[in-house]
């Protein structure tokens, strides 16, 4: 938690002024019982009306000045707390953006959301209260004790006995509460994770009639959270009654001893009232301090959780040699492979075995590389190594002759157009989504990308065109429309490398074929990786990579793999021969490549249909 104080830079002046004005207010408050004692002893006891009025006006002046100090303290503390939390939140968000997929997978989305929202609010509240009360309350407690000694030493010994007992109670409860609040936050993470999962997959739950089962599971998780909250609340609830009992016991002893000393003429009535006021001030301040300790306890627990994210470093490694600032595209056009996997191996964090094993292949500019395989065979893992979403744990991945780890991440990823497996759009407009890769893209560039992605037709039919609203996640578009928009987004800016990770799964065969034809006509002739479950989508590829359980079991053209790769032939047969046999009831000849395209013959040299 205390490591977060580095973000206090820029607010140190306000952080000093806030408690300073609170201490000035507290000093005035400590003077009030002495003035009251003087009014009782000299004004009322001495029947001096003028003295009583003057002292009363002095109390009013103290109140007005104290109010001014209090307002200033509140202003500076609020400004410091809000500014400090804003800097922490901004830095935390930026840090999360720098983490690789490995750390994001391990931490989880729900806990990161909790730490950016609820935990930050707790930290802000804790900083605000700390600046206003953390010094004020102890100052008044010990100040009241010292002032009591100036009035009567023997009576002040009651304060000496009461304050240590109160300190043991307050700090003892704080030490017990801190781990409990940490556990409460962990339970809250789990409830949020379950809630997010249910709301995201609500259609699936209803389709399989799992509502009651999920309600029971939510009740279980929420019950565990409630149980821990009750336990921490019960312990925190002991604070006020215990402090009241101790303070009231001290007040009883003070009044009893004070009455005896007044009878003996050792103390005046005003002195006893002043001592009582000081004891009452201690009671009020310790109650405030008790509540402050509870809030600080929560803030420390939340601050430790935020700091834990800051201490999570990215698993992406960077070479000590100076980073290459630009990708040497000319070298790629002069014969150097655009992408080269050299015995690349990947093992996910804490996994028992490698996910990808010893991958070796090359891809050149203008080539279309298909990646196919069964579910969980490592297709997405393979293409995720190229933009360094994950780093290889063995071997290397090179772009234009240089290891991808030698490029700055921004340079590397800006040169790649990526369409992830899950089509994600952000709230805004179609225009704002398409400009993700190139913020200053013209409307002409956007329409060109939409035309290539087979999305121009439905976008032009929208009343607002490029300015048509996009809801969160793109839920106001169909699955196929979302996929085509994400493809268009990747095409803006003419990337030299294009990765389509199963990005046409929601498209019909005709649209899919038209999209592939359009990609083959791109003027910059990008190196294109297409991950797909459909054999038909990859038949035209210059090279097809066949994955099976993380191993590259075959690579070559469609015709070559049918002859040499058993896995590819099984996938092909399952999608074509069996379907046609079942439909006709009799054996059918193998389909021609053009049976699953829009028409014409594919010229592999030119990359287009003729």
Residues 6 or more apart whose Cβ sits within 8 Å of residue 85: 120, 123, 124, 127
CB 371 within 8 A of CB 552: no
The whole-number average pLDDT for the span 145-161 is 82
Q: How confident is the model at residue 324 (pLDDT cuts 50, 70, 90)?
A: low
The reply to whether 40 and 113 lie within a common domain is yes
Give, in order, the Cα–Cα distances in Å from 420 to each of 110, 487, 556: 21, 9, 24
CB 585 within 8 A of CB 550: no
pLDDT reading at 495 higher than 90:
no
The reply to whether 164 and 249 lie within a common domain is yes
Give the pLDDT score at 582: 47
3-state secondary structure at position 499 = strand
| Domain contains 251 | yes
The reply to whether 292 and 358 lie within a common domain is no
The whole-number average pLDDT for the span 560-572 is 91
Residues 6 or more apart whose Cβ sits within 8 Å of residue 563: none
Question: Could you read off the pLDDT of 50-98 as tens digits, one per residue?
Answer: 888 888 899 899 899 999 999 999 999 999 999 999 999 999 999 998 8
pLDDT reading at 101 higher than 90:
no
C-alpha span between 519 and 418 (Å, rounded): 14
Q: In this predicted model, which residue has the larger pLDDT, 591 or 449?
A: 449
The reply to whether 365 and 296 lie within a common domain is no
Question: Could you read off the pLDDT of 162-199 as tens digits, one per residue?
Answer: 878 877 887 788 778 778 877 887 888 788 888 888 88
Beta strands in 10-134 (DSSP E): none
Give the pLDDT score at 371: 93
| Domain contains 559 | yes
| Domain contains 549 | yes
CB 424 within 8 A of CB 476: no
C-alpha span between 540 and 94 (Å, rounded): 42
| Domain contains 419 | yes
Q: Nearest 5°: CA angle at 586, between 584 and 591?
A: 75
Q: Among 251, 280, 310, where does a domain finish?
A: 310
Residues comprising the chain, all counted: 610
Q: How confident is the model at residue 536 (pLDDT cuts 50, 70, 90)?
A: confident
Give, in order, the Cα–Cα distances in Å from 345 to each of 342, 350, 381, 551: 9, 15, 10, 10
Q: How confident is the model at residue 47 (pLDDT cuts 50, 70, 90)?
A: confident
Residues 6 or more apart whose Cβ sits within 8 Å of residue 86: none
The reply to whether 142 and 261 lie within a common domain is yes
3-state secondary structure at position 267 = coil
Give the pLDDT score at 438: 86
Q: In this predicted model, which residue has the larger pLDDT, 517 or 524?
A: 517
The reply to whether 235 and 108 lie within a common domain is yes
| Domain contains 173 | yes
Give the pLDDT score at 4: 85
CB 119 within 8 A of CB 88: no
The reply to whether 288 and 378 lie within a common domain is no
pLDDT reading at 322 higher than 60:
no
Give the pLDDT score at 429: 92
DSSP-assigned beta bridge partners for residue 363: 339
Q: How confident is the model at residue 9 (pLDDT cuts 50, 70, 90)?
A: confident
pLDDT reading at 593 higher than 50:
no
CATH number at residue 199: 1.20.1560.10
> What residue numbers bound the domain in which 194 lies?
2-310
How many CB atoms are located within 10 Å of the residue 468 CB? 16
Q: How confident is the model at residue 370 (pLDDT cuts 50, 70, 90)?
A: very high
pLDDT reading at 610 higher than 70:
no
Q: In this predicted model, which residue has the larger pLDDT, 602 or 204?
A: 204
Residues 6 or more apart whose Cβ sits within 8 Å of residue 211: 205
Q: In this predicted model, which residue has the larger pLDDT, 240 or 447?
A: 447
The reply to whether 6 and 148 lie within a common domain is yes
pLDDT reading at 256 higher than 80:
yes
pLDDT reading at 592 higher than 90:
no
CATH number at residue 338: 3.40.50.300
| Domain contains 321 | no
Give the pLDDT score at 507: 79
The number of distinct structural domains making up the chain is: 2
| Domain contains 293 | yes
C-alpha span between 441 and 488 (Å, rounded): 12
The reply to whether 366 and 410 lie within a common domain is yes
Q: How confident is the model at residue 590 (pLDDT cuts 50, 70, 90)?
A: very low
C-alpha span between 44 and 296 (Å, rounded): 45
Phi, psi of 433 (to 5 degrees): -75, -40
Residue with tokens 């109390």: 59
DSSP codes joined into one string, 435-482: TTS-TT--HHHHHHHHHHTT-HHHHHHSTTGGG-EE-GGGTTS-HHHH
Q: How confident is the model at residue 320 (pLDDT cuts 50, 70, 90)?
A: low
Long-range contacts of 112-115 (CB under 8 A, 24+ apart): 112/309, 113/192, 113/196, 114/185, 114/188, 114/189, 114/192, 115/302, 115/305, 115/306, 115/309
Q: Report which of 543, 89, 501, 461 is spatially closest to residue 306, judged by C-alpha positions.
A: 89
3-state secondary structure at position 553 = strand
Mean pLDDT computed over every residue of the chain: 83
The reply to whether 305 and 364 lie within a common domain is no
The reply to whether 266 and 301 lie within a common domain is yes
The reply to whether 395 and 451 lie within a common domain is yes
Give the pLDDT score at 1: 63
| Domain contains 289 | yes
Give the pLDDT score at 73: 92
pLDDT reading at 587 higher than 50:
no
Q: Nearest 5°: CA angle at 189, between 184 and 194?
A: 125
């Amino acid at each position: 938690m205390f490591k977060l104080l580095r973000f206090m830079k820029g607010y140190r002046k306000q952080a000093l002024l806030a408690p300073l004005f609170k201490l000035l207010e507290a000093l005035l408050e400590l003077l009030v019982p002495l003035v009251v004692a003087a009014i009782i002893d000299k004004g009322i006891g001495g029947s001096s009306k003028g003295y009583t009025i003057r002292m009363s006006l002095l109390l009013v002046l103290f109140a007005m000045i104290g109010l001014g100090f209090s307002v200033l303290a509140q202003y500076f503390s609020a400004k410091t707390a809000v500014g400090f939390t804003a800097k922490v939140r901004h830095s935390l968000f930026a840090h999360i953006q720098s983490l690789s997929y490995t750390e994001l997978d391990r931490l989880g989305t729900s806990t990161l959301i909790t730490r950016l929202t609820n935990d930050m609010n707790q930290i802000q509240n804790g900083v605000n209260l700390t600046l206003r009360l953390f010094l004020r309350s102890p100052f008044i407690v010990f100040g009241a004790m010292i002032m009591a000694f100036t009035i009567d030493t023997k009576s002040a010994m009651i304060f000496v006995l009461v304050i240590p007992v109160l300190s043991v109670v307050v700090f003892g409860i704080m030490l017990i509460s801190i781990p409990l609040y940490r556990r409460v936050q962990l339970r809250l993470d789990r409830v949020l994770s379950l809630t997010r999962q249910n709301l995201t997959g609500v259609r699936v739950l209803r389709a399989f009639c799992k509502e009651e089962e999920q309600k029971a599971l939510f009740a279980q998780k929420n019950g565990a959270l409630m149980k821990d909250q009750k336990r921490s609340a019960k312990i925190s609830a002991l604070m006020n009654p215990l402090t009241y009992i101790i303070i009231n016991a001290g007040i009883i002893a003070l009044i009893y001893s004070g009455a005896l000393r007044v009878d003996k003429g050792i103390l005046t009535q005003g002195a006893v009232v002043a001592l009582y006021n000081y004891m009452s001030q201690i009671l009020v301040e310790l109650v405030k301090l008790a509540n402050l300790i509870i809030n600080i306890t929560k803030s420390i627990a939340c601050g430790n959780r935020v700091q834990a994210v800051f201490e999570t470093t990215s698993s992406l490694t960077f070479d000590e040699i100076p980073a290459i600032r630009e990708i040497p595209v000319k070298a790629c056009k002069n014969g150097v492979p655009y992408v080269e996997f050299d015995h690349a191996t990947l093992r996910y964090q804490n996994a028992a075995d490698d996910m990808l094993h010893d991958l070796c292949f090359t891809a050149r500019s203008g080539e279309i590389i298909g990646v196919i395989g069964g579910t969980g065979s490592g297709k997405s893992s393979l293409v995720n190594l190229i933009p360094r979403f994950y780093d290889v744990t063995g071997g290397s991945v090179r772009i234009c002759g240089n290891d991808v780890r030698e490029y700055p991440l921004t340079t590397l990823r800006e040169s790649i157009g990526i369409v992830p497996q899950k089509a994600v759009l952000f709230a805004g407009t179609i225009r704002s989504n398409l400009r993700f890769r190139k913020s200053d893209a013209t409307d002409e560039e956007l329409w060109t990308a939409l035309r290539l992605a087979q999305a121009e037709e439905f976008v032009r039919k929208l009343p607002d065109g490029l300015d048509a609203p996009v809801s969160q996640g793109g839920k106001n578009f169909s699955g196929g429309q979302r996929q085509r928009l994400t493809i268009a987004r990747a095409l803006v800016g003419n990337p030299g490398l294009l990765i389509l990770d199963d990005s046409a799964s929601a498209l019909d065969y005709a649209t899919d074929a038209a999209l592939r034809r359009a990609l083959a006509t791109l003027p910059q002739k990008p190196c294109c990786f297409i991950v797909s479950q459909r054999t038909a989508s990859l038949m035209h590829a210059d090279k097809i990579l066949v994955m099976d359980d993380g191993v590259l079991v075959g690579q070559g053209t469609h015709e070559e793999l049918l002859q040499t790769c058993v896995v590819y032939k099984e996938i092909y047969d399952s999608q074509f021969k069996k379907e046609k046999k079942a439909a006709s009831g009799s054996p059918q000849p193998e389909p021609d490549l053009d049976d699953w395209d829009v028409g014409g013959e594919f010229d592999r040299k030119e990359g287009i249909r003729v």
